[in-house]
Amino acid sequence: MRATFHLKTLTVAIATLSIASITNAAGLDRSGQDITAFLQDGTYAEAVYTYIDADVSGYDSANNNPLDNSYVRGNATGDIAESYDFFRYGVKTDINDTFSIGVLYDEPFGAAAEYKGDNNFVANTNPADSVGEFADDEQPSGPLGNAIIGAEATTAGENTKVEVRSENLTAILGMKLGANKNFQIYGGPVAQRVKSDVKLRGLAYGPATSYTSHISPDQDYGWLAGISYSKPEIALKAALTYRSEIDHSMNIYESYPLAPTLSGGALPPTQVTNMEITTPKSVNLDFQTGINPTMLATAKVRWVPWSDFSITPPLYNAASKNPVSRPDGLNLVDYEDDQWQVELGLAKRIAPALAVSGTVGWDSGAGDVTTSLGPIDGYYSVGLGAKYNVTPEWAVSAGGKYLWFGDAKGQLPTGKIVGDFQDNDGYILGVKLSYQGK
């Protein structure tokens, strides 16, 4: 006789997997834009807290000549990765046996990095020290070298630092189809809010040293659409979700001390203008199936085309233009490759109210070389989780994940390699409170 897998019982196990899954990935990806809360049966609500602590360290380049792209190993950078945390919330209910509604909140994209200590990503406190570091270089010399040293002196002792934050609020309406309501189509609007601060400091950035930008919070809108299939007899669920690009038009303050020098006086050292940023579209595949009445297998796949994404501040771009070699100027941030992410898991119910889970994962990264503001090229990961049902409806879950980051070289938009980052790792911790009723 064929075993029947009770989905609600097995969900006790699978819910542990999503706490610390698909985070700290390629590009600016953070939350993984999970929608599994909407795919739960009955009335469901969750609140999730995730904490990321990565150790990303390497060496700067002893070659400070902005006209020479060769890398020469220099001083240690120390750990540049700032700890990063975020929340995720979700609530969903069935209107009837056909229609469901839900609201999801997450923080999908972000970055937090700061260079400290004695390296070329920290502005020297004494201009004479910068003169000494240029002493062995044939170039820059004369006006350019003196201008770089002068620009660095305006932010003496300050650190290179970047912080990017975002928030998503998604409303979803789902409609079940078929005689057994096995299929569901769903979709809805997405509101997204983005802000960022960037400080480039030290001789590593050459003429761009002491560049500062502040992007004021901006809110714009996109959409989500997907299709899912379920077969409760074997605890099978599969969902394919597409999220659209979101175009932002935001105010940006920029300070670029050498912009007048580089442009022959045509550009100001500071300005407030408008900038366009398009956050990337994505596709998520979520799959689960019962192996036996107490064990569940899962798979998650995510694709994000980071190669289409760029941040191009107007003053930074204008100051970098050269009619011969760079007529279009430079982006402050861009990526070479698209991101692919895969996570496989097993969940086991070991007692009526207790389940445990394990995952292995891989992230392709968005290319090596990569930006000096996030020098990681993907990762491999392992994770463990557990969930305890305090009552039949209320549960507490906790999970953790260890990550081995891919080696990466930090590159400026000019093509100059300014850092080498190897043998780095990190961990993620998460906790979730959830409710599930009929």
pLDDT at 384: 94
How far, in Å, CA of 432 to CA of 370, rounded? 33
How far, in Å, CA of 264 to CA of 61, rounded? 29
pLDDT at 222: 97
Q: How far is CA 355 from CA 289, 385, 432, 438, in A?
A: 16, 8, 14, 21
pLDDT at 68: 84
Distance of CA 142 to the CA centre of its chain: 41
Check: CB of residue 185 under 8 Å from CB of residue 177: yes
Number of alpha carbons in the 13 Å side-chain half-sphere of residue 431? 3
pLDDT at 12: 42
For β-strands 408-411 and 282-292, DSSP reports them as unpaired
How far, in Å, CA of 190 to CA of 242, rounded? 12
Helix, strand or coil for residue 129?
Answer: helix
Check: CB of residue 412 under 8 Å from CB of residue 400: no
pLDDT at 134: 62
Return the closest-CA partner of residue 411 out of 347, 350, 366: 366
pTM equals: 0.91
Angle at 195 between CA 194 and CA 197, to 5 degrees: 150
pLDDT at 138: 54
Note down pLDDT in tens along the chain; length 438 residues.
Answer: 444 444 444 454 444 444 444 444 567 888 889 999 999 989 999 999 999 999 999 999 998 888 888 899 999 999 999 888 889 999 999 999 999 999 999 999 988 899 999 999 999 887 777 776 665 555 555 677 788 888 888 999 999 999 999 999 999 999 999 989 999 999 999 999 999 999 999 999 999 999 999 999 999 999 999 999 999 889 899 999 999 999 999 999 999 999 999 999 999 999 999 999 999 999 999 999 999 988 999 999 999 999 999 999 999 999 999 888 888 999 999 998 999 999 999 999 999 899 999 999 999 988 877 888 888 899 999 999 999 999 999 999 999 999 999 999 999 998 999 999 999 999 999 999 999 997
Check: CB of residue 340 under 8 Å from CB of residue 32: no
How far, in Å, CA of 196 to CA of 319, rounded? 21
Check: CB of residue 379 under 8 Å from CB of residue 403: yes
Q: In what order do the strands lie in the sheet with 408-411?
A: 73-76, 58-61, 417-421, 408-411, 370-371
pLDDT at 368: 76
Kind and range of the H or E run holding 148: helix 142-153
Helix, strand or coil for residue 183?
Answer: strand
How would DSSP label each residue in 225-257?
A: EEEEEEETTBTEEEEEEEE--EEEEEEEEEE-T
How far, in Å, CA of 44 to CA of 167, rounded? 21
pLDDT at 22: 45
The per-type count for the chain, helices as H runs and strands as E runs, is 5, 24
What tokens does 395 get? 């549960």
